[in-house]
Amino acid sequence: MVDNSFLPIDFVNRMEQDLGPDLHAFLRSYEEDKISALRFNPIKARSTAAEDMADILTGQVEWSKNGYYYDDVNNRPGVHPYHHAGVYYIQDASAQLPVEMLSPNPGDICLDLCAAPGGKSTQIAGYLMGEGILVSNEPMKNRAKILSENIERLGIKNAVVTSEYPDRLAEQFPEYFDKIMVDAPCSGEGMFRKNHDACNEWSLESVQMCAARQAEILDRAYEMLVPGGRICYSTCTFAKAEDEEAVAAFIERHPDMTLIEERRLWPHIHKGEGHYAALLEKAQVEDFIPNRREYSLKKTSDKMLNDYLTFAKNTLKNPIRDNLLLNGDLLYALPEQCPDFKGLHVLRGGLFLGTLKKNRFEPSHALALALSSEEVINTYDLQSSSSQITDYLKGGSVMADVPDGWVLMTVDGYSIGWGKAVKGQIKNHYPKGLRLLG
């Protein structure tokens, strides 16, 4: 149990005006421990995933079809092999609401405008299930790198990760996207229980500064939305200036936008932190056809790709041959309908397949995580409860009677990385930067 004396007095006074007699229940919620949740990744997770992890799960998140609460006192799912394999994403229950409201369809062209660290982007990708496009954007370069790593970990093939400010994207993609997620930078009031340090950065003035920035971001999102498309705007704050009032002002600036649904999650009512979400729709325009410029891909000769093609023939049951982009010695598979991202700062253009080196091709960790065991000729499975998987994640080799060559390593059937078999020993190719210590 914790107290609530850390809360800024100006914040408490404003909440008293907003909540009236409910203030006491609201403040009591800050004396309770935070509630932890995760969300299964439908791109990889089996339908029985929740049953397989029933020993740590404590119930389903009522507004999230793949979300579950877990016991974080006796369990650490962040170090479980399934986390390394991208089977689930650790995400606050309340933060799972906005994408559920946006509810993209397979084939949609989607944008996550303020995407790091990647919770909502990976949730959108789970709705798309490999069909359509996800442009996942984060203006801050260091945060965009984390976003890209999470896109990779969850085995997402049809995402382009960019690092640009919204005005720059709006110039490139006018009336382009069917669905846009705007999880706007905010004053973070809903995170005070989880992060007491956020209180030190809060002030009434910072709320107004955030509201002004959010208005600009929403206006750029409007410019990129096709007629008939939808925006979900969300924050993790309770400030009406950043939430209800921001949405009302946005509709006043853009009368062709309609508020479809608006929800707020309170920590004293719901199991999760504070969150706000509004679903908005742009009016249809008769006979509108989006002018979507796609990436103009120059064909790369088989001679230049010879080492990759040899790898693909020997390793993959259905070699990836379409939409290949060679950037220096780095090889990517662009998604179908890939937007023209020339001139933008792109961290990941589709699926990174690997690197062409002298007389050989070295497959990427991203490719391993994006493949299933059914797509690879040679696989070797490690049990999640065994010492072998721990040794593998620490960088150890595995003794196994498998044919020489690249081997997809799996944990309980989930792809987790590469190994290379040589005379009965699988040499470890799990990335050094991701390995367990100790």
226 phi and psi, to 5 degrees?
Answer: -75, 150
Is the separation of the CB atoms in 178 and 438 below 8 Å?
no
Residues of the chain with pLDDT under 70: 1-3, 438
pLDDT for the residue numbered 119: 98
Q: What is the pLDDT of residue 433?
A: 94
For residue 1, the model assigns a pLDDT of: 42
**Catalytic choice (114, 186, 236, 338):** 236
Q: What is the pLDDT of residue 73?
A: 85
Residue whose token pair is 């709006």:
170
52 φψ region: left (φ > 0), alpha (ψ -120 to 50), beta (else): alpha
Q: Would residue 236 show up in a list of annotated catalytic residues for this protein?
A: yes
pLDDT at position 3 = 62
The domains found in the chain, sorted by start residue, are: 9-282 (3.40.50.150), 376-438 (2.30.130.60)
Give the CA angle between residues 262, 113, 147 to the nearest 5°: 115
pLDDT score for 4: 74
Beta pairing partners, 67 = 39
Tokens 């367990």 identify what position? 436
Phi, then psi, of 122 in degrees rounded to 5: -70, -30
C-alpha dist (Å) from residue 60 to 13, 79, 263, 293: 34, 21, 19, 41
Residue 377 confidence (pLDDT): 98
Contacts by 260-268, CB closer than 8 A, 24 or more apart: 260/230, 261/101, 263/97, 263/101, 264/238, 265/94, 265/97, 266/26, 266/29, 267/26, 267/29, 267/30, 267/190, 267/193, 268/22, 268/25, 268/26, 268/28, 268/29
